[in-house]
Amino acid sequence: MATTAKNTDAYPLNRDFLASSRLHLQHQVWTSSLGYLLHPAIPREEHMLIADVGCGTGIASLEIAKQLPAGGKVKAYDLSLEQCPPKGWWPSNVSFEELNIFEPISDHLIGKYDVVFLRHFICVVQSGNPLPLLSALLKLLKPVVVEPASSAPKMEAFMNMGGETIKKQAGWVRDLHTRFSDAGAELVAHDRHWTAKEVMMMKQEVG
Ligand SMILES: C[S@@+](CC[C@H](N)C(=O)[O-])C[C@H]1O[C@@H](n2cnc3c(N)ncnc32)[C@H](O)[C@@H]1O
């Protein structure tokens, strides 16, 4: 898996000390501005399983894990584990593993998670088309409606269109909330938050 990750790693940012510091400051900007890590609409249940995709340093995984009810666990995935803590420092309910979310999802991960957490992916979706990402993330989620023979014709049609509908690379983030039905999913909540004043300077500095 490590070889695959290296061959396909088009991640445009570094993974050095400065890059990790930047992620930690961005974490502060987000938590101060949102006031939560997991959206309040997400039910907290015992033994819930969370996948943090593209976890970076793992700071969100480590914080989320502290807030989970009994038996809750976080599995933190990233193309590279360079910025993650070493295994000896993992809490008992967090573990880290390499995963390229744009490669076919292994069978054992399909339908496994109650929650998929994703943050700071603007620079990762370079095509500007979020549908392959959304489709992969949905595969990780436990199915809400179980219909073994069901298909997603709209999703497939959209995927076949390629990048025609995408104008700008980052435009997908602004419109992401409008795309869930294309991927056969239902949007539960869409919130927009302003950056909290006390972390505005930090945000300006880290981007
Ligand atoms: C800007 S960082 C965000 C880190 C973390 N989500 C956070 O909020 O602090 C983006 C992360 O996505 C990871 N990444 C990039 N491409 C990926 C891929 N194809 N599959 C999984 N992770 C990927 C990068 O290695 C990097 O750690």
> Domain tally for the chain?
1
Q: Which residue has the tokens 């990048």?
A: 163
Q: Could you give the count of Cα atoms lying within 13 Å of 192 in the half-sphere of its Cβ?
A: 5
Question: What pLDDT sits at residue 164?
Answer: 47
Domain CATH code at residue 32 = 3.40.50.150
The answer to whether residue 182 is domain-embedded is: yes
The three-state DSSP-derived secondary structure of 23-69 is: HHHHHHHHHHHHCCCCCCCCCCCCCCEEEEECCCCCHHHHHHHHHCC
Indicate whether 33 pLDDT > 70. yes
Question: What pLDDT sits at residue 166?
Answer: 41
Question: What pLDDT sits at residue 184?
Answer: 87
Burial of 87 from C-beta contacts in 10 A (0-12 / 13-18 / 19+) = exposed
Percent of the chain with pLDDT over 90: 59
Q: Could you give the count of Cα atoms lying within 13 Å of 36 in the half-sphere of its Cβ?
A: 9
The answer to whether residue 194 is domain-embedded is: yes
Give the distance (Å) from ligand 1 centre to CA of residue 173. Answer: 15
Mutate to test the pocket of ligand 1, among 7, 26, 78 (most ligand atoms within 8 A of CB): 78
What are 120-144's pLDDT values in tens digits? 998 898 888 899 999 999 999 998 7
For residue 52, the one-letter residue type is D
The answer to whether residue 52 is domain-embedded is: yes
Q: What is the mean pLDDT of the chain?
A: 85
Question: What pLDDT sits at residue 77?
Answer: 98
* Other CB atoms within 10 Å distance of the CB of residue 192: 6
- Residue 189 CA, chain-centre distance (Å), reads 16
Mutate to test the pocket of ligand 1, among 26, 34, 55 (most ligand atoms within 8 A of CB): 55
What are 66-93's pLDDT values in tens digits? 999 999 999 999 999 999 999 999 999 9
Residue bearing the CA closest to ligand 1, atom 18: 100
Give the distance (Å) from ligand 1 centre to CA of residue 23. Answer: 10
The answer to whether residue 172 is domain-embedded is: yes
- pLDDT band of 8, cuts 50, 70, 90: very low
Q: Determine if ligand 1 sits within 6 Å of the CB of residue 98.
A: no
Query: What is the average pLDDT across 177-204?
Result: 86
DSSP characters for 68-106?
--TT-EEEEEES--TTSPPGGG--TTEEEEE--TTSPPP
Q: Determine if ligand 1 sits within 6 Å of the CB of residue 182.
A: no
Indicate whether 9 pLDDT > 70. no
The answer to whether residue 145 is domain-embedded is: yes
Question: What pLDDT sits at residue 168?
Answer: 60
Hey, which of 12-26, 136-150, 158-172 has the most confident mean pLDDT? 12-26
Q: Determine if ligand 1 sits within 6 Å of the CB of residue 116.
A: no
Percent of the chain with pLDDT over 70: 83
The answer to whether residue 207 is domain-embedded is: no
Query: What is the residue range of 64's domain?
Result: 2-202
- pLDDT band of 7, cuts 50, 70, 90: very low
Q: Determine if ligand 1 sits within 6 Å of the CB of residue 5.
A: no
The answer to whether residue 144 is domain-embedded is: yes
Q: Identify the helix (H) or strand (E) that includes residue 153.
A: helix 153-160
Indicate whether 149 pLDDT > 60. no
What is the spatial distance between Cα 202 and Cα 87, in angstroms, rounded to a whole number?
Answer: 30
What is the spatial distance between Cα 90 and Cα 75, in angstroms, rounded to a whole number?
Answer: 11
Burial of 120 from C-beta contacts in 10 A (0-12 / 13-18 / 19+) = middle
